[in-house]
Amino acid sequence: MTSPDHDASRLIEPLALLHGAAARAACDAGLALRFAGGGTAFALCRLIGGTGSVVVPVGDIPAAWAPILDRVTARAPDAGLPSGPLVMGILNVTPDSFSDGGAHDRPEAAIAAGVRMAEQGASLIDVGGESTRPGAIPVAPDEEQARILPVVKALARAGLTVSVDTRHAATMRAALDAGARLINDVSALGHDPRAPAIVAAAGCPAVLMHMRGTPQTMAGLADYDDVAVAVVRELTVSLAAAERAGIARNRLLVDPGIGFAKTAEQNLELLRRLPILANLGCRVLLGVSRKGFIGQVAGQGAHRHDLTPPPQLRDPGSIAAALPGLAFADIVLRVHDVPGTLQAVRLWQAIQG
């Protein structure tokens, strides 16, 4: 069972978001509340209970909802990472990843790419040795380690903050020993029963991502009554399991799992409703970069001689899809295009004042 202060049977979904001067003015007038301790505010909210939901002004939120409201308005723990928006560069040391498979499958090429992303402004480099795209073939932990450990060691020695994208406990342990500082698990530490204990013993930050099934089965599991509510409630279960294993909640980040067991429309719905993730009280990681739904929405492939455009052409759409995450003051954006994303973040911040 989840602890009472993180009961997901009742949720507050912030609506009518305001930014910059408008947010400050509305808060000063008592018409809005700060969202997640940052510069965004919300004037309305949806109260979601077990029997339905209702939209109310923030001044009409019942007193009984105060503990939930406190969580939605408070800034989440930093999970041991620098505060503010962070860009995490994606480094796939694989032959079959959907976007850059084979581009960095030699250690020298991968190390150079990681250093380049750090020089471009990435705060973290996320190294992966197993593709988790839909239908991907599983990789044995020993092969995964052979791919990534030389890269992790070299980047850590160079002073970079390295994250490791893995579902395997043995790879987690080896990567942490090699200098990695964060574990990013698409299975929310649910794939390998030994994984939670390793993360707990290391005391390192960990990302719990929402996914149903496995990369081989998830496409058939995208059946939701309300995808945003389901993601929050299912991540609540994952967080509770991590806490039972001895992992401090203030070290955990959550990822809504865009593209994992979700249709294109469900991905869009989640991006529209990202503020509902504040109910979890954790720092948020958002990974939308170059995902297939971006090409679907943009109509890529509709032109003659352009039936299978390369994923790199989705970079502008990736940046647009990541911007809703900036409602969270400490969002972590997992991206392929580091300089383009950083430019967009800085412009957004400047516009919002």
Catalytic residues, by residue number, are 291, 334
Q: Rounded to 5 degrees, what angle do the CA atoms 238, 240, 243 make?
A: 110
Whether residue 195 contacts residue 174, with contact meaning beta carbons closer than 8 Å, is answered with no
CA 57 to chain centre: 29
Distance between alpha carbon 159 and the CA centroid of its chain, in Å?
24
Secondary structure class of 226 (helix, strand, coil): coil
CB atoms within 10 A of CB 84: 13
What's the rounded Cα separation, in Å, for the pair 86 and 229? 26
Instruction: Identify the three-state secondary structure at position 19.
Output: coil
Strand partners, 182: 163
N-terminal to C-terminal alpha carbon distance within the chain: 42
Under 8 Å between Cβ of 164 and 126: yes
**Token reading at 115:** 């250093």
Q: Could you say which DSSP state residue 280 is in?
A: G
Element (H, E) at 12: strand 11-18
3-state secondary structure of 353: coil
Contact 117, 335 (CB under 8 A): no
Instruction: Tell the burial category of 253 from Cβ atoms under 10 Å away from its Cβ (0-12, 13-18, 19+).
Output: buried
